[in-house]
Structures are given as C-alpha cells and as structure tokens.
C-alpha cells in the first residue's frame, strides 16, 4: 500500500534515499525494488526491527534489486543524523502531522537532500481530519497522535520557505478515509469490533484486486485520506 508514486518521484537505480519515518517499511521495500540504497529511519525500534526482518527476508529470497542495499537507523525528524546533501530522494510519509515543530522538520529534510534532489511529503487531508475530529475526541488526544491539520497551501509554503519547490500533487487512500471513520465510531482502540475486522478484510481484498485499486483511484478524487506534495530542492 504505497502512498507515494515512485515514477512521479523519479527514483533511479543507484540513488541514495531516505525513508524518514519508515514505519513497517512499505516505501523502503519499493525503494529496494528500484535498486536504491535505502536508509530506513524511525523513532520506533519495534518498527525498525520488523522492517529490517522483512527487507532481509526479501533480499534472501531474491525479490530485491541486485544493486540495492539498506540500513535501519533510529532518528528524529527534528535533528536528522546525516550530513548536508546526503540523499538523492527522500520520502516523509504521514510524519509531519505528528511532530511539534514541522518547520524545523522540513528544514532538516531539505538540509540532507542534495541540490536538485526530489522529496515527497505526505500528510492527511484537511477535510478527513475535520471529520475524524468531529467523530471522536480520541483522534487528536491519543498519545503519539496528530497535533495539527494541514491546508495543502500551508504545507507547500513551509516547503517553499525551506528551498523546496513543489512540482506535483497527488491524492491517495480514499478507502482508508472510511476505515478511520469506522474506527472513530466504534472506538480507535477496539480492533476486535466486527465492523472493524470486516472492513479490514475488505482493505486487504483491495490490495489484491486490480479492479478495487482502480475504484480507489477514482474515489481518491473525492475523499482521499492523504495528500502527497512532490518537490525538488532548488
């Protein structure tokens, strides 16, 4: 389940890339398939261990590009442990809405990106966040949860102020908009509710079905969960 379009990001074989806030490694895995050298970074050690295991297993089975490589690294988006101009490509997916100082986080991402390098930053859409906030107070009060809502122009202004020029915009995950509405109604932490479990199976079906993926692409035009801003470093 990719949020970022790798063709739009123009990922190339041999690129040195950063997956900032990699989670369970969905974008890191795609980087590996493209032949990039990936730094998988997150603050969550459990996520990093799972990501490392998944990618190592993929490489062992021959499902990764022969020229790809990876490192897992604990790191904070507000103080990235890398030199200036290290990376050709960066993905920062669903992170900025969690950090206390998004301007500083964006500045750090821009600092470690090479000149003319490209970056994709994804955040939840403003409308979806309003809906979830109206459904349940838990959405913005749970530990580790979201601390702000983004207008697209607001995030674009932050990126531009840090030397990143937006060249494309994408919308993703309309089916997940419904998923979070359901979870808000039945309880964010009630993963065993029959409706929650049933819709989760539907989401897995969508990943496996070309027809379902095309349907979701259509509905992304109306109620997307995430917005993706693609930019290059001037």
Catalytic residues: 94
Pair of tokens at residue 227: 């917005």
Of 165, 11, 6, 160, residue with least CA distance to 88: 11
Q: Rounded distance, CA 87 to CA 110, Å?
A: 10
* Contact between residue 211 and residue 218 where contact means Cβ atoms under 8 Å apart: no
Dihedral sign of CA atoms 201, 203, 205, 211 in order: positive
Characterize 132-148 residue by residue with b for buried, 16 or more Cβ atoms within 10 angstroms of its Cβ, and e for exposed: bbebbeebeeeeeebee
């Amino acid at each position: 389940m990719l949020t970022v379009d790798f063709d739009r990001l123009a990922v190339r074989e041999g690129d040195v890339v950063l997956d900032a806030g990699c989670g369970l490694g969905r974008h890191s895995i795609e980087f590996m398939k493209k032949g990039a050298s990936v730094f998988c970074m997150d603050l969550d050690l459990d996520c990093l261990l799972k990501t490392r295991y998944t990618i190592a297993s993929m490489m062992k089975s021959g499902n990764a590009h022969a020229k790809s490589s990876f490192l897992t690294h604990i790191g904070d988006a507000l103080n990235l442990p890398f030199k200036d101009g290290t990376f050709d490509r960066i993905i920062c997916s669903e992170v900025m809405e969690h950090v206390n100082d998004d301007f500083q986080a964006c500045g750090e991402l821009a600092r470690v990106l090479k000149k003319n390098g490209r970056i994709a930053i994804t955040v939840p859409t403003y409308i979806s966040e309003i809906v979830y906030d109206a459904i349940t107070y838990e959405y913005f009060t749970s530990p580790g949860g979201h601390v702000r809502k983004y207008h697209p122009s607001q995030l674009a202004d932050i990126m531009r102020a840090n030397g990143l020029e937006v060249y494309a915009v994408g919308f993703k995950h309309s089916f997940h908009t419904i998923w979070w509405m359901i979870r808000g109604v039945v309880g964010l932490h009630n993963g065993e509710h029959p409706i929650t479990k049933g819709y989760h199976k539907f989401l897995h079906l969508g990943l496996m079905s070309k027809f379902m993926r095309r349907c979701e692409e259509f509905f992304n035009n109306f109620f997307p969960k995430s917005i993706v801003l693609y930019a290059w470093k001037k």
